[in-house]
Amino acid sequence: MIRIAIMDDYQNVALRMADWSKLGPDVDIVSFTTHLPTSDEAAPLLQDFDVMVCMRERMPVPRALIERLPKLKLIVFTGSHSQMIDLEAAAERDIPVCRTSGKPSSSAAEMAWALIMACVRNLPREDANVRAGHWQTTVGTTLEGKTLGLIGLGNLGGMVARYGRAFGMNILAWSANLTQERAEEHGATRVNLDDLLRSSDIVSIHLKLSERSVGLIGRGELDLMKSSAILINTARGPIVDEVALIDALRSRGIRGAGLDVFHHEPLPADHPFRRLDNIVVTPHLGFVTEEGYQSFYGGALEVIQSWRAGNLINRYAA
């Protein structure tokens, strides 16, 4: 019997997002709907499993956990990149780590745009006010003619640029490796980061998390932004200094923020982001769609099938 643990299945949907019966009758699959953030919590529950399926980067898999899972033979994570798994510790145990394949999805770019609209038109506040018996309590702003600054112009940033052009916005873009040709391809003006921050009405982040991008947007960068500007982050939480952002929001140094990602997820119950009135927060929904889950869990199923057949696919190398 092969035992498979599907981790962090928050909505309890993993078992219907792929045809797991293809693995045969000698497979026992358990979906964990509760987050297990520490090795001490996870190890006792996972010690009898052969395979771990991790959703994106929800769960850390450090050396301390790998060393306490004697039966573990395969780790699969959904998506193309992960910094949450100790690859060296897995290699020492001859445990392959595999990713899932799939074409870039528009879901995260669409989520960024949802946050932009929610912020500029005060949608969460107005929804709550209507339910409380009020009517038209805020004044929004239009996007046409405004400036959208994109930090990162890869697949997702390029999609957001296209949406921005459809709204009649001026597009600025910056990344460390952005070329003039790439910017022109997406109808954007390539500028340096400081100029982007000074000039943009909406700043949206679309970078991968790396040593270079951690803390990229800190107190100094937030101070450059207009007091009427909005910061959107659907990339990774640590790209923005959370303490500096909280201060900027409290002091109204910027108008607001729309965040789908955080330093610690799930967001702690006592986190200041839960109480600020000029921020829209969503629980890392960028990839959480029916189509996205079907792709991710279907991809995990394919990896496990290949492993059992002895022709492993999608082995990951950072």
Known catalytic residue: 264? Answer: no
Gyration radius from the chain CA atoms: 21
AA identity, residue 79:
G
Nearest CA-CA partner of 85 in 68, 66, 60, 65: 60
Q: Which residues of 267-278 are buried (b: 16+ CB within 10 A; e: fewer)?
A: beeebebeebeb
What is the separation of C-alpha 3 from the centre of its chain, rounded to a whole number of angstroms?
28
Q: Sheet with 97-98: list strands edge to edge.
A: 27-31, 2-6, 51-54, 74-77, 97-98
Known catalytic residue: 184? Answer: no
Known catalytic residue: 265? Answer: yes
Q: What is the Cα–Cα distance from 312 to 310, expressed in whole angstroms?
A: 6
AA identity, residue 47:
Q
Q: Sheet with 170-174: list strands edge to edge.
A: 189-190, 170-174, 147-151, 202-205, 230-233, 256-259, 279-281
Strand partners, 4: 29, 51
Selecting among 265, 290, 302, 315, the annotated active-site residue is 265
DSSP for residue 94: T
Selecting among 284, 290, 291, 315, the annotated active-site residue is 284
Q: What is the Cα–Cα distance from 96 to 308, expressed in whole angstroms?
A: 12
Q: Is 190 exposed, middle or buried (0-12, 13-18, 19+ CB in 10 A)?
A: middle
Nearest CA-CA partner of 119 in 234, 279, 286: 279
DSSP for residue 315: B
DSSP string, 233-245: E-S-GGGB-HHHH
Selecting among 99, 206, 236, 255, the annotated active-site residue is 236
By annotation, the residues acting in catalysis are 236, 265, 284
